[in-house]
Amino acid sequence: MSQVDDIQQVATDIQKRLRKLGDNCVVALSMHKSKELIAELEEKALWLVTQLDSLN
């Protein structure tokens, strides 16, 4: 996979996982699962920003 493909895959994954929080980002998961999901999304977002920075 190219770097752009990786970035697109991570962005798509973040989008799918944000949908798990429900409409208008009202939490529809247990508190434990919500915290776990948010931590995972933060990690993916950091990776995504790092990759985009390296393209410049």
Whole-number pLDDT of residue 15? 84
Average pLDDT over residues 11-29: 73
pTM given for the model: 0.67
Place of tokens 């529809």: 28
According to DSSP, residue 22 is labeled -
Task: Give the span between the Cα atoms of 34 and 21, in whole angstroms.
Answer: 8
- Amino acid residing at 37: L
Q: Is the pLDDT of residue 23 over 60?
A: yes
Average pLDDT over residues 38-48: 88
Whole-number pLDDT of residue 24? 65
